Structures are given as C-alpha cells and as structure tokens.
Amino acid sequence: MKKWITLTLVFILAFVFVGCNRDEPPIDDPNNATAVTISGAKAEIEIEEEMQLTAAVTPTTAAQAVNWSTSDAAIATVDATGKVVGVAAGVVEIKAAAASNSKIFKSINVTVNAPVVIIDPTSVELTGTKTEVTMGSYITLVATVLPEGASQEVTFASSDEAIATVSSIGRVTGVA
C-alpha cells in the first residue's frame, strides 16, 4: 500500500511539473498574441528598391510589437520598422514575429531582381537582295537595330502605297 501511495504521488508531481510551463503564457488570456499578419508586401522588388511592410498582431488587445528578420541579409535587409531593401538578386524570407511570443509569426517570400536596363536604338540598317522592285514582284528587307541589345521592334511602312507596299515582316511588293 505504501508503494502505491508513493507511486501515485510521484505521478501527480510529474504531471504538475510538466503541465506548468512558464515559457508559454496561458491560452485563455485575451492579451496573448495568436497570429501575425503582414501587409504592404510585393512579391518582387529590384536591387536598391525599398518596400515598407506593416505587421498586425491579433487579437488587437495583444501587444502589437513585432521583431522583423530576414533569412539572408545579402539578398534583402529589413529594419525594425519593417522597411525592406533589395541588396542582390535572389529570393529571401522576411519574417515578423510577435515580440511577446516568437512562436507566433508570419513570413513572406520576396524576390529581388536586378533592374532592367533599357537600351535605346541608335540606328537601323536595312539589307536585302535588291534595292529595286518591279511591278508584281517582291523583295524582302531585313532590319538590324543597333546597338545590339536595344529594343528590336521594327515597323515597316511604305511612303507611297500606289508604287510599292510593304508587309509587317519587310516584304516589299511593286505595285506600279
């Protein structure tokens, strides 16, 4: 009987100590954070571009302070106010964790892209097999936009369609 009482007391004490975890606040407290949301996020930013994020902790009665972090500061940084700055091309995870309980957090992925450099064309060269076309026949012109890497969009047009017509791909047909 003495063993039975001792064993029962040991189990009761074990359950009491296991059940009392001071690291986590009681669940039924309305001031405890239960979720974090992030707003203001874009899926992609460019290098050196800034993006301001905001975080909200629910319920609204909980402390609203959050701790911001980045998975890779070499790709994007985030400061204490939620301002994200692109540093290098890549994908990074930005996280907002409730300051009162770091186990309550929300994270988003942000892709940082290198900026697109637009090169304006400086000239267009036309090449073809002939420079003259007779009535009813055709020649095909090829347009080369310079410098290389510039926008390659070319629009062909005839100054007098009564003499010659030209298609969108540079086919010139003699009319008169």
pLDDT digits (tens, 9 = 90+) for 5-36: 877 767 776 666 665 555 555 566 778 999 99
Same domain, 109 and 129: no
**How many separate domains does the chain show?**
2
Same domain, 106 and 71: yes
Does 7 map to a domain?
Answer: no
Q: Which residues of the chain have pLDDT under 50?
A: none
Last residue of a domain, one of 113, 133, 164: 113
Structural domain span for residue 75 = 30-113
- Give, in degrees to the nearest 5, the angle at Cα 100 between 96 and 102: 50
User: Which is nearest to 94 in space by CA: 85, 107, 104?
Assistant: 107
Does 16 map to a domain?
Answer: no
Same domain, 92 and 133: no
Does 68 map to a domain?
Answer: yes
Half-sphere exposure of 52 (CA within 13 A, CB side): 1
Does 118 map to a domain?
Answer: no
Same domain, 144 and 90: no
Does 99 map to a domain?
Answer: yes
How far is residue 115's CA from residue 59's CA, in Å, rounded to a whole number? 39
Does 85 map to a domain?
Answer: yes
